[in-house]
Amino acid sequence: MNVDEIRAYCLAFPQATENIQWGDDLCFKICGKLFATLALTAVPQKLCFKCTPEIFAELVEREDIAPAPYVGRYKWVILDRLDALRSDELRDLLRQSYEMVAANAPKLGVRKPSREKKRLKKKASGKTRAKKKKRKKP
């Protein structure tokens, strides 16, 4: 797969977005969480994505695939060449990365209120608990 094919594939996922970060990396995200990065100015271009622990162990044994710098401990790999994997295999791995990250990403439009907001809401509605006064023992 080339850069344009990878970009089109990643952006086809529901709610997937892209932006440039760290100077020249094209980052693909779901709900603000990364699921793949593409180093655009590297020669050859490099692709980084998340894997399951089992697949990570298999991939890092292959030529031109290594644990990703900084995030390898979280089971991210980096392809030193875009043709390090067959197109069908790469598509499947990118889909898995998207699905793993999407499963743990914050849901859009559903925000949990902070403790402070909950406290203020209770106070406004009069549902706060009265504090008990401590009695002195005789």
Residues 6+ apart with CB under 8 A from 76: 48, 49, 50, 51, 67, 68
- Residue 117 domain-assigned? no
- Residue 21 domain-assigned? yes
- Indicate the number of domains in the chain: 1
- Residue-level pLDDT, tens digit, the chain, 138 residues: 899 999 999 999 999 999 998 888 999 999 989 999 999 888 889 999 999 999 999 999 999 999 998 888 889 999 999 999 999 999 999 999 999 999 888 875 444 455 655 665 666 666 656 555 666 666
Q: Are 51 and 76 in contact (CB under 8 A)?
A: yes
- Residue 128 domain-assigned? no
- Residue 40 domain-assigned? yes
| CATH number of 53's domain | 3.90.1150.30
- Residue 135 domain-assigned? no
- Residue 27 domain-assigned? yes
- Residue 119 domain-assigned? no
Q: Containing domain of residue 105, as a range?
A: 3-109
Residue 34: how many CB atoms within 10 A of its CB?
A: 19
